[in-house]
Amino acid sequence: LSLALLAAASAAAQACSWLWLRSDPPALRPAVPAALLAALHLLQLGFLFRCLHALKVGWKVCWAKAEDEDEQRHMAFLSHDISMLRLFETFLENTPQLTLLLYITLQTNKAELSQGLGIGTAFLCVSWSLLDYHQSLRSFLQDKYKLSLGSSIIYFLWNLFLICPRILVVALFTLLWPYGVAVHFPLVWLAMFLWVSLQGTDFMESSGPEQLYRAMVAVILYFSWFNVAQGRTLYRSIIYHGFILVDSTLLALSWLWGRAPSEEHSYLLPVVSAALPCYLLGLGLRVTYYKWLHPNMQVQQEGGCDEVDANGGSDGLEFRSFSEPNLVNRRMQWLAQAQFPFSRSARQLFLNGAVES
């Protein structure tokens, strides 16, 4: 099962990487023959190649052409793709394997110190991948919209407090009904896939790859919130967290109802009892973040007006732009419109400043 998760996650990530490279503007693609790029992705080395290429561009930015703004934006372009692929890898491979490892540990009722440290570190890495993705997406915005240290800590913590109870109750449910999760996951995944499809995502270049993207996002939504549509997210977030809270509560109650009468896992009772307060604490931290610590709120407080748009107005966001208008990043445009609210006039601008034709 672990190898199957690894193979499926790697194949999906490599497919996304290859499709993204094919849709990128020629000036932003690596100077490598297409056949070689295809071979690297077939050998599951596409992500490694991206990292090495980003290191090469980063070295050029730091030493050879530190004053070149376009190179810095190119580096942000590359780093965001890497961050998003890492996010896919985290939720398609690492998070299911973490759930499996937690299940095995509870099943054997014993764990070495290294296993405990590994499980704890894995929880931190899952939350960190969400923070890294959010920070990389904000790297396309002007400096005043960057996350502060305090905002980053709260963002990290509320994701951690929301993800930990979810993974725990799934592992506990699997502990009593190992085959039950084989029914539960596809049903919830299908619901999330339909949820994403109804929101009308337009991330990939064609309908086929778009279904792959929606399927991968549905896996993320099984464990954590991930916004994919434009507009206000308040009601969608309430619906999602309400659904996950009810589903996780039912999984926990199923474990409490069906657990064996022995005291073998009696230590889990206080852990399960703390899961709901932990989840509610995560929701409270999220409300705190968006109410007081979000960078947009800080800009409004400091400037005494609404956010500024790419044209210097007062109702949008200001993006960093390439000097050449043909260098567009359609994926980042869509994600920015989904993640950050900005005006109708600002929507006429691509993420890198190019106007739609």
d(CA 111, CA 150): 35
CA distances from 165 to 80, 156, 159, 354 (A): 28, 15, 11, 43
What type of residue sits at position 303? Answer: G
C-alpha 59/C-alpha 247 separation (Å) is 47
Q: Which ranges of the chain would DSSP assign to H, the alpha helix?
A: 2-23, 34-42, 46-59, 69-89, 95-108, 113-138, 149-176, 181-198, 207-223, 234-258, 268-288, 295-303, 330-339
User: For residue 319, which phi and psi values (nearest 5 degrees)?
Assistant: -100, 150
Positions of the chain with pLDDT under 70 = 64-70, 140-145, 260-265, 295-329, 333, 336-357
The pTM (predicted TM-score) of the whole model is 0.86
- Dihedral angle over CA of 245, 251, 253, 259, nearest 10: -160
Q: What is the pLDDT of residue 279?
A: 93
**DSSP 8-state secondary structure symbol assigned to residue 67:** T
Query: What's the CA gap between 45 and 37, in Å, rounded?
Result: 9
pLDDT of residue 59: 84
Between CA 223 and CA 117 the distance in angstroms is 21
pLDDT of residue 206: 84
Tell me whether residue 242 is exposed, middle or buried, using C-beta atoms within 10 angstroms of its C-beta: 0 to 12, 13 to 18, 19 or more. Answer: exposed
- Amino acid 87: pLDDT: 93
- By CB atoms closer than 10 A (0-12, 13-18, 19+), residue 197 is middle
Give the model confidence (pLDDT) of 183-222 as tens digits: 999 999 999 999 999 988 888 888 889 999 999 999 999 9
Give residue 1's pLDDT.
83
pLDDT of residue 257: 86
Type of residue numbered 104: I
Q: Is 230 helix (H, G, I), strand (E, B) or coil?
A: coil
Write the DSSP assignment of 235-247 as a string of letters: HHHHHHHHHHHHH
Who's near 138: CB < 8 A, 6+ residues apart?
Answer: 145, 146, 147, 295
Give the end-to-end CA distance of the chain in Å, rounded to a whole number: 48
